[in-house]
Amino acid sequence: MNELQLTLLVLALAFVGGLYWMSQKKKSATAADAKTAHSEQAPSQQPQQHSPLMDPPAEPSAQTEGVPPEQASLFDEPAPVFEENGKKVLQVDDAPDEDILPVEVQPSFGKPQHQTEAEAPQQDVARSEPQVFSIMLLGTHEYTLQEIHSALRSFNVAYDAATGFYCLVDEDGHDYVRIVNALNPGVIPPLEEDDGSFRTPGIALVLGLPTTIHAPRAMEEMLTLARKLSQKLDATMYDINRTRLREPDLQRMRSAALDYVSKPVGNME
């Protein structure tokens, strides 16, 4: 072996030895880095092993059964509790509800949106203005003065000889319903003045509001008396235009009295 070959052999051995030494050093460094990374990841991995996301889903409790998924957290997660002055206090989220509408866009629930305070009482004023309700009782034949007096007295209706009207009166003697002759001027003469010539097609009951008692009570008493007199006289009930009154018409009169806003006359200041 000549000197050149010996030199090349030594260089080859040195090169191979260097490569081996470098590969071993690289492996040692890689192992050290892997060990360090494992030690750093170990604490963060510990909660993941016990994360609720890894646990099987729990059976719904009686409290959360039937609750939508988006609301289940209200029952699953109890509100935080902290101590203050030796007492346990439940922490509550007082954040404003974003779903609450501002005042200017809240529903009016049927209330007129542009009604002013000055306009509101006008509705009551309109319903408290004087109103007159009347019922005419007309028969198939003309009635004598004796028949009229007899029918009215059978229901204990008071007679005012000064005016010639029968009346329903309150506890203080004030009249609130008048029963008059269907013919003008409406006077029913006293029975003592009967000369046998009196004839009338019927009578009329008149209620003027406001009166000395509340409107619904006055209306109901007038309707009750009208029914009784129509049966007693075998008459039919008509309105002022001589249109026959039926039950829906009487109900509308009741509703009008219920809607009538006023104090009894005797209580007005």
Q: Please give the residue that has the higher pLDDT: either 103 or 142.
A: 142
Give domain 129-261's CATH architecture: 2-Layer Sandwich (3.30)
Whole-angstrom distance, CA of residue 194 vs CA of residue 146: 8
The mean pLDDT value for 225-250 works out to: 96
pLDDT at position 167: 96
On the 0-12 / 13-18 / 19+ scale of CB atoms within 10 A, 177 is buried
% of the chain at pLDDT higher than 90: 46
Complete DSSP assignment for 76-140 = HSPPPEEEETTEEEE----PPPTTSPPGGGS--TT--TT--TTTTHHHHHHHTS-EEEEEEEEEE
Instruction: For 63-100, write each residue's pLDDT tens digit.
Output: 445 545 544 444 445 555 556 666 555 554 544 444 44
Q: Where are the domains of the chain?
A: 129-261
Q: What is the pLDDT of residue 19?
A: 74
pLDDT at 132: 94
Sign of the alpha-carbon dihedral angle for 20, 21, 25, 31: positive
pLDDT digits (tens, 9 = 90+) for 205-223: 999 999 999 999 999 999 9
pLDDT number for residue 56: 52
Q: In a 3-state reduction of DSSP, which class is residue 166?
A: strand
Residues 6+ positions from 219 with CB-CB distance below 8 Å: 133, 207, 253, 254, 256, 257
- The string of pLDDT tens digits covering residues 123-176 is 444 466 899 999 999 999 999 999 999 999 999 899 998 999 999 999 999 999
